[in-house]
Structure 1
């Protein structure tokens, strides 16, 4: 801590104050708080996940407990109620905490327990966005973007760029439980520095779609199998101005969507095969991270994950180690997908375009196909019948520093 103005020691003007206790608001406070909590959890027998440093896992015999930390908010779950009660009691002794009971609301996410799983939604958060945009009474639309909508940098500038950034930033957080708007929000996010009036009109269309689908959310059900499947897709030269491709992926564990993305590739691809191959490499890296996380959770399935792509050339390129003259310019780091395939850690397969779920992350789709892929992603209305119980035993705890 630097010496505050007016209290500088004239004998040692370059000395600094020794920090004995982290005060709220200091730059060191978050690190010091997390270190304090981590030391306590490690002393209690928890292990910090290597895939996600905010996740702590306790595994002793048949007892499993998962603890997820976000600043001073904690989610705790496990399969042994007695162990959870003992740990919660020790947590009470060490910190001033408030036990909020069964998990139902966390960081804007609404959690509803069903008879065979969970339902995650952000209905209240989405309503707040519409209220901020004064669009609670707007007319709903069936898709976030029409098939003819294109984001271009030309046109008259929007008069309130900060308002545009605020709305797009709020929509970005909404994609946590609404992957169906990921592509549209990604396109709108590329023009935050200089939005135009046309851009704002397209953002309003996204909001009109959200207005008509406020009740949608992600469903998670007990999986019939524990397989990991990823879908990878790319739309070659999608961007008219830069000719860079847009790629997307969706990763399912036990039939439940656990990871997805919609992004523009950083470089121009010379062919559709190249853009699809780059997308496969990025998806493969995410699948590897998911497998590491599952291993930390003691839930890693025995079989190898499968990566599905609708481009035969890209699938062949991932399985064939022979260098081709059209692929020799591709960066070496993208070829690690070949090593995964050859070592048996990953299986790549072809999937027809009509079954390519990741297509929803690369381009605007017509309503029938959009709704079909949205349903396959698990974005659905809340279940009709809800139960008050929980799957195992869930506690939400708020810590006050």
Structure 2
């Protein structure tokens, strides 16, 4: 800590300024603002969520309010419109804020509504990516990556790694509403340190796919009886150079996709059963976090969650308390899923490979299967409902 230029005290050169009020531009500003807002919310009956520290929940009788904070952007919703209006008035008296009305645009996400549906998209953000990549006039392509191709470190280095980082980072944020490109974006993200010309061509192919699906997004439908259903899948030893597996999961709440992931496993698996079992554990961990969040939101489904897996050996390993010789080397923390199953908090079930929705997060698929899974993930154009008069 040093005295700022122009405010040096010759008598006390080793002294520093005492911060009385945090302003924009200071490192302490975000933390000070969040602390100030948190104290205000707690004083008005809100409780900070344990599952998400930026989520605050108000519960009184049948009234429930949810308030989500991202720096100085706030989303407020609930089941009591008069209580919401009253609390917005209190916020106005305490802070200098602007009420933008019904949520329509938030951090690059575009929200549109129909009578029964909610549609999230990033059309403007996708357009900006195309402009940045100078591919706005490029020819669209049906799939983000060819089926038979693979990702390797071979090839000539790309001469502008910073530009490559910029495009890949933008694509990572686009996966918020475009889970169907999560796998290929994860793959090109693994070569940020030393990208090659081939990797840059892969990124351009992804952007060309986005060109033809620019208006696509996630649709959420109303479900009267929501339940948690997860899909877990692995492409065993798919990496040619490291022989590590890529796993993916997708979790649905009431038929709506709420969480997904495509990642490379940190260690090499000796068998497909082992890699599938590790993927089950990762999926179970995410489901446990979601159940904690839903419990705090007072909307936890009464039925126990279910994970669908297409590997029978991994299912038997998750359901059987017997330690087999081939599974002794598996770390203890991966048996977490077995404890959940034995305690009745989780149910694992077999699903055929052609119905395994998480297959789209582990490998490049043929166009018919890719489009089929994309539809089942509720990724597509905005829903249109016609009403007669």
Which bracket does the TM-score occupy, shorter chain normalised?
Answer: over 0.9
Residue 3 of structure 1 deviates from its aligned partner by 2.7
- Equivalent position SS for 1:97: coil
Question: Pairwise mapping of residues 70-149 of structure 1 onto structure 2 (< 5 A)?
Answer: 70-149=70-149
Contact 1:247 1:279 in 2 (8 A): yes
CA RMSD, 1 decimal: 1.4
Relative distance call for 1:198 and 1:386 in structure 2 (3 A) is farther
Residue 28 of structure 1 deviates from its aligned partner by 1.2
Residue 302 of structure 1 deviates from its aligned partner by 1.0
- Equivalent position of 1:391 in the other structure: none
Residue 24 of structure 1 deviates from its aligned partner by 1.5
Report the more deviating stretch, 20-29 or 334-343: 20-29
Aligned length: 387
Partner Cα distance (1:99, 1:237) in 2: 51
Contact 1:48 1:54 in 2 (8 A): yes
Relative distance call for 1:33 and 1:306 in structure 2 (3 A) is same
Higher RCO structure, 1 or 2 (CA under 8 Å, sep 6+): 1
Residue 10 of structure 1 deviates from its aligned partner by 6.1
Partner Cα distance (1:75, 1:62) in 2: 20
Partner Cα distance (1:40, 1:117) in 2: 34
Q: What CA deviation, in whole Å up to 9, does each residue of 1:38-71 have, x standing for no partner? A: 0111111111111001111111111111111110
Q: What CA deviation, in whole Å up to 9, does each residue of 1:184-217 have, x standing for no partner? A: 0000000011110000111111011100111110
TM-score, L = length of structure 2:
0.97
- Equivalent position SS for 2:326: coil
Residue 9 of structure 1 deviates from its aligned partner by 5.2
Q: What CA deviation, in whole Å up to 9, does each residue of 1:330-362 have, x standing for no partner? A: 111111111111111111111110110000000
- Equivalent position of 1:161 in the other structure: 161
Partner Cα distance (2:287, 2:242) in 1: 29
- Equivalent position of 1:397 in the other structure: none
Question: Pairwise mapping of residues 336-351 of structure 1 onto structure 2 (< 5 A)?
Answer: 336-351=336-351
- Equivalent position of 2:370 in the other structure: 370
Partner Cα distance (2:39, 2:114) in 1: 35
Question: Pairwise mapping of residues 10-49 of structure 1 onto structure 2 (< 5 A)?
Answer: 14-49=14-49
- Equivalent position SS for 2:327: coil
Question: Pairwise mapping of residues 275-314 of structure 1 onto structure 2 (< 5 A)?
Answer: 275-314=275-314
Is there any run of 5+ residues in structure 1 with no aligned partner, and where?
A: 388-401
Contact 1:115 1:386 in 2 (8 A): no
Question: Pairwise mapping of residues 234-383 of structure 1 onto structure 2 (< 5 A)?
Answer: 234-383=234-383
Contact 1:228 1:306 in 2 (8 A): yes
Residue 177 of structure 1 deviates from its aligned partner by 0.1
Q: What CA deviation, in whole Å up to 9, does each residue of 1:119-152 have, x standing for no partner? A: 0000110011001111111111111111022111
Partner Cα distance (2:386, 2:2) in 1: 55
- Equivalent position of 1:182 in the other structure: 182
Residue 26 of structure 1 deviates from its aligned partner by 1.4
- Equivalent position of 1:213 in the other structure: 213
Contact 1:114 1:386 in 2 (8 A): no
Is there any run of 5+ residues in structure 2 with no aligned partner, and where?
A: none
Report the more deviating stretch, 21-30 or 260-269: 21-30
- Equivalent position SS for 1:295: helix
Partner Cα distance (1:343, 1:385) in 2: 44
Residue 8 of structure 1 deviates from its aligned partner by 5.2
Partner Cα distance (1:190, 1:220) in 2: 31
Residue 12 of structure 1 deviates from its aligned partner by 5.4
Q: What CA deviation, in whole Å up to 9, does each residue of 1:318-341 have, x standing for no partner? A: 011111111111111111111111
